[in-house]
Amino acid sequence: MRHVNQGIPKLDAKALITGRPAYTDDLAPANCLVVKVLRSPHAFAKINAIDTAAAEQLPGVACVITHRDVPRHRFTMAGQSFPEPSPYDRLILDRLVRYVGDPVAIVAAETERQADRALKAIKVDYEVLEPVFDPAKALDHPSIIHPEADYHVNHDIGNDPNRNLCASGEFCAGDLAAAFAAADVTVDQTYETRANNQAMMETFRTFCYMDHSERLTIVSATQIPFHVRSITARALGIPKQKIRVIKPRIGAGFGAKQTLVSELFPALVTLKTGKPSKMVFSRKESFTASTSRHAMRIRVRLAADRAGNVLGIHMDTLSNTGAYGEHGPTTVGLSGHKTMPLYNKAKAIKFTYKVAYTNTMSAGAFRGYGATQGTFALESAMNELAEKLNMDPLDLRLKNLVAQGEVMPGYYGEKLNSCTLADCIRRGKEMIGWDANHPCRQISKTKVRAVGAAITMQGSGIPNIDTASVEIRLQDDGFYTLMIGAADMGTGCDTILAQMAAEVLCCDMDRIIVSQVDTDHSPYDTGSYASSTTFVTGTSVIKAGKALIEKMITMAAGTLKADPGDLEFNGTAIFAGSPDGKKAITVEALARKLAVGNGACLSATATHSSPVSPPPFMAGFANIELDLETGKVVVKDYVGIVDCGTPINPNLARVQAEGGIVQGIGMALYEDITYNSAGKMMNSSFMQYKIPSRKDIGDIRVAFESSYEPSGPFGAKSIGEVVINTPAPAIANAIANACGVRLRHLPMTAEDVVMGLHARER
Amino acid sequence: MQLKNFSISCKINGRTYEENIAPDRTLIEFLRGLGFLSVKQGCDTSNCGLCTVWLDGTPVLSCSMLAARANGRAITTIEGVQEEATAFAGFMAAQGADQCGFCSPGLVMNILAMERELDDPTPEDIKHYLAGNLCRCTGYASQMRAIEAYLAAKTAKTAAATTAAPAAPAEGGA
Ligand code: FES
Ligand code: FES
């Protein structure tokens, strides 16, 4: 293949690296009103009164908006297809504020300084209520976080707002009681993951203006332009056709931008004032008033026979969705459904879950989306089971691994058509030097090197829901415009989709141009999340490319007076017999001809929605150095072996994997959103919330064991999310191998290791 | 209390600017206000390095410096070193090391400064020099491959120029 499976540079590489203005704030008009939000200092309170008179009188202030002035339609900010599974539990501004940071008033002024001054001049009288922060205590707590009568759900998600229960459910297959009755060995442990911040380098930002036809235009750093359109329409109570959403280049998202965060405030200001406005979140605001990863407490019960056959798995998850239910009912599902199927040989599986509201910041989407949390729990439990069985953890996995051709009851009954996970494990085992280093090697009096491993799976899009349309137009010099609605957030999907188009249309990459997403022009796409873009949108690209070739052949047949069945297409020409022969026309000549008086400019549209979501797989291996005196853990070497089907662009796939692994290491060792006893976030800057720097990271080595997914474009599956899941359990395993301390909560700090060592001595 | 605006004069990418500014204006606000939109802000605590520009040739964090301090000095942004930035961009692109790209201008400014300051840096030297440049997308490994390839190519070019034409001054060896 000429373009697919090639490490082609990203289309926007040179422009972005050399600093060309291309991001939201670079494009905002200079005369935008500056929008700022006054936020609640209380974790739970009722607003008795707000006095905005003084603020409104200040110079430069264009408007001050409070809960009295906003539309009363409850909605969710989660970017999901309608009818959304997340509950409608929000207003743009509400009388009840549910976490420290919840918006209380919106201010727009001519300058930032003026807006800041106006914020300070607003007087709010709060009636402080008793907050609840622990999800286990929140259930049936006397403080009800969502008492509103107009709370609404679109689906039966097992919720009960009066109990602070956002969602609950149960799934089982097989006879779990029988599996445990037959077991020789069992494990029963509870694991805890923490809220993490996505921490993309570009904070949330949006600017808005009214256009020449009195429509609201929203330019925003978002992964979900079409969902922004529909959520804004609902929240503002205006028809969708009055809204246009444009997505410029964005400084990454990792799921954070799969939820509306900065959009609604300037949208409301522009609608009210008629003036352009913009809102740029500070880093602190990005930390304290967006969405984090759902913190989860997951109990895992495993049953196995003496030979190491896993007989039964039960996972029970309690998830903290915080003040609002964005992605609450859905992330939790992945903690079980995208973990247990790894051990599909188990005769019985059971998954139970509850999602609780609390008075912390709302949780939301973050790369891995619940599978990450579940993987830490299940993979840690598997490593504990291996220890009990006195078995090599890799052998235990190989013995129980799901295999190609199997139907997976725990994975929505899907059949697995591509999987090289066993090869991933074997290859990684060799690369990390497992046999020489397992379980550990003392390298000095105080330092130990040890290895640990974990495996994981994810999905490729949401089956039967994610929908991607693509249009390819033949332009008048014989080049093509690829119109997509999928949002490149730095992942390189524009490039990858162009590679697929060039492959189908047999042309050079420079004959494909990819348009930015604009809901007025781009074909519909649910957006870039759930690892859907390569798999779902990619398939649409192939369909549209083939359809366009058909159309070109039909038009050429008319011109050449030939039977379309006799014609061939080779990328540069359409011909019968030989491209240099009599019956031939170049694509360029055909395109030119069509542009003049022919009434037929060619374009083809295709839409794809997949009935299945084939899982990509990965095996991750950590080689750590642990200091027995200080407890400090350094990841010296991390090996990740990935099965993403055919990597469409191996360079970009590799960098996705490397980046995901490093985020996973951050999550494993230090990233942790903490709140004080009043519910105030204690680490709201990069000074306090440390993400890995280049000095924290040892070698990261990635290799591919490519399978071929028959339902994917050119055999591809997804890559974006699966790569973040293995570090936490692999490092936990390595720590246990190094010093015998099993850490069952994240992050695993030096202090935790030392405390564990002391506890062992006692 | 509000302090009065005052005027400053400085050179940006070789051109002189005379501007009237508020005393609390940061250098990044000043630069972006003048249209140097490559300069990005990623934090409010001097931790991310995205806002790196040069002040008289030395990298500084433009988010943490008052514009007033640029009075009488020379500022360089990536707009002023496009040729070198483009040369380096090729190495980044070849690795796929540019993901969202939001961290790139600051990183490039620091890499070009490092190249001027350090001779033959080891991987550890490089990591140390660039430790203040955060990137959330790439995990740094691909950036490292790009930087090493870029420096190696430069060295090779310099060596070739020296052997081929010993009389001519070596290019790019600054
Ligand atoms: S913006 Fe983060 S260091 Fe300047
Ligand atoms: S490429 Fe996105 S932060 Fe570095």
Residue appearing with tokens 């550890």: B124
- Residue A189 pLDDT exceeds 90: yes
Amino acid at A200: M
- In the listed set B31, B60, B79, which residue is the last one of a domain according to the structure? B79
**Phi (first) and psi of residue A123, to 5 degrees:** -110, 125
pLDDT at position B3 is 75
User: Residue A124: how many CA atoms within 13 Å on its side-chain side?
Assistant: 23
From the list A601, A499, A504, A596, the residue with the least C-alpha distance to A549 is A504
Report the gap between the CA of B162 and the closest CA in chain A (Å). Answer: 29
Structure-token pair, residue A26? 């670079």
Interface test with B, best of A18, A283, A701, A702 (most B CBs within 10 A): A18
**SS3 state of residue A755:** helix
Q: Do the Cβ atoms of A300 and A176 come closer than 8 Å?
A: no
Largest CA distance in chain B: 66
Reported ipTM? 0.96
Domain interval for residue B56: 7-79
Q: Give the residue-averaged pLDDT of A413-435.
A: 98
Pairwise CB contact (< 8 Å): B89 & A282: no
Q: Which atom of ligand 1 is nearest to the CA of B62?
A: 4
Peptide bond into A439 cis (omega under 30): yes
Does residue B166 form part of some domain?
A: no
Structure-token pair, residue A734? 């390595």
Structure-token pair, residue A220? 């925003």
- Residue A531 pLDDT exceeds 90: no
Residue B63 CA to ligand 1 center (angstroms) comes to: 5
- In the listed set B35, B56, B79, which residue is the last one of a domain according to the structure? B79
Q: Say yes or no: B85 and B156 in one domain.
A: yes
Measured from the alpha carbon of residue B134, the closest ligand is 2
Q: Say yes or no: B89 and B147 in one domain.
A: yes
- In the listed set B54, B79, B104, which residue is the last one of a domain according to the structure? B79
Burial of A614 (0-12, 13-18, 19+ CB in 10 A): buried
- Tens-digit pLDDT profile for residues B109-166: 999 999 999 999 999 999 999 999 999 999 999 999 999 999 999 888 888 887 765 4
Q: Which atom of ligand 1 is nearest to the CA of B48?
A: 2
From the list A172, A391, A179, A392, the residue with the least C-alpha distance to A303 is A179
Amino acid at B85: A
Question: Confidence class of residue B100 from pLDDT cuts 50, 70 and 90?
Answer: very high
Q: Residues 6 or more apart from A560 whose CB is under 8 A from it?
A: A567, A574, A576, A583, A584, A585
Q: Do the Cβ atoms of A185 and A387 come closer than 8 Å?
A: no
Residue A531 CA to ligand 2 center (angstroms) comes to: 19
Its pTM stands at: 0.96
Domains of chain A listed by start with CATH number: 13-129+198-288 (3.90.1170.50), 136-181+298-401 (3.30.365.10), 417-459+613-762 (3.30.365.10), 468-608 (3.30.365.10)
Q: Which atom of ligand 2 is nearest to the CA of A251?
A: 2
Q: Say yes or no: B42 and B73 in one domain.
A: yes
Q: Say yes or no: B73 and B96 in one domain.
A: no
CB nearest A17 (choices: B22, B85, B133): B85
Q: Say yes or no: B90 and B66 in one domain.
A: no
Does residue B169 form part of some domain?
A: no
Q: Say yes or no: B62 and B88 in one domain.
A: no
Residue A498 CA to ligand 2 center (angstroms) comes to: 22
Measured from the alpha carbon of residue B65, the closest ligand is 1
Does residue B46 form part of some domain?
A: yes
- Tens-digit pLDDT profile for residues A608-634: 999 999 999 999 999 999 999 999 999
What residue owns the CA closest to ligand 1's atom 1? B41
Does residue B171 form part of some domain?
A: no
Q: Give the residue-averaged pLDDT of A346-351.
A: 97
Q: Say yes or no: B139 and B107 in one domain.
A: yes
Burial of A530 (0-12, 13-18, 19+ CB in 10 A): buried
Measured from the alpha carbon of residue A202, the closest ligand is 2
Residue B132 CA to ligand 1 center (angstroms) comes to: 9
DSSP per-residue string spanning A548-564: HHHHHHHHHHHHHT--G
Q: Tell me the C-alpha distance between A6 and A616, whole Å.
A: 19
**Domain of B56: which CATH number?**
3.10.20.30
Pairwise CB contact (< 8 Å): B134 & A283: no
**Domain of B126: which CATH number?**
1.10.150.120
Q: Do the Cβ atoms of A736 and A380 come closer than 8 Å?
A: no
Q: What percent of chain A has pLDDT over 70?
A: 100
Does residue B174 form part of some domain?
A: no
CB nearest A655 (choices: B96, B131, B133): B96
Sign of the dihedral through C-alpha B140, B144, B146, B150:
positive
Q: Classify A390 in phi/psi space as left (phi over 0), alpha (psi -120 to 50) or beta.
A: left
Residue B97 CA to ligand 2 center (angstroms) comes to: 9
Q: Tell me the C-alpha distance between A16 and A23, whole Å.
A: 9
**What residues of chain A lie within 8 A of the CB of B85, using their CB?**
17-19
Q: Say yes or no: B68 and B27 in one domain.
A: yes
Please state, as a whole number, how many other Cβ atoms lie within 10 Å of the Cβ of residue A190: 15
- Residue A601 pLDDT exceeds 90: no
Ligand 2 pocket (Cβ < 6 Å) reads A 201, 252, 490; B 99-103, 135-138
Q: Say yes or no: B111 and B136 in one domain.
A: yes
Please state, as a whole number, how many other Cβ atoms lie within 10 Å of the Cβ of residue B130: 25
Q: How many domains does chain B have?
A: 2
Pairwise CB contact (< 8 Å): A662 & B139: yes
Ligand 1 pocket (Cβ < 6 Å) reads B 41-43, 46-51, 61, 63
Q: Say yes or no: B156 and B98 in one domain.
A: yes
Give how far Cα B72 sits from Cα of A584, B16, B33, Å. 68, 10, 19
Residue A306 CA to ligand 2 center (angstroms) comes to: 48
**Phi (first) and psi of residue A670, to 5 degrees:** -150, -15
Report the gap between the CA of A203 and the closest CA in chain B (Å). Answer: 7
Best residue among A18, A201, A694 to mutate for probing ligand 2, ranked by most atoms within 8 Å of CB: A201
CB nearest A9 (choices: B48, B88, B94): B94
Q: Say yes or no: B110 and B44 in one domain.
A: no
pLDDT at position B45 is 97
pLDDT at position B2 is 64
From the list A122, A733, A77, the residue with the least C-alpha distance to A439 is A733
Residue appearing with tokens 């439990």: A381
Q: Say yes or no: B148 and B95 in one domain.
A: yes
- Residue B29 pLDDT exceeds 50: yes
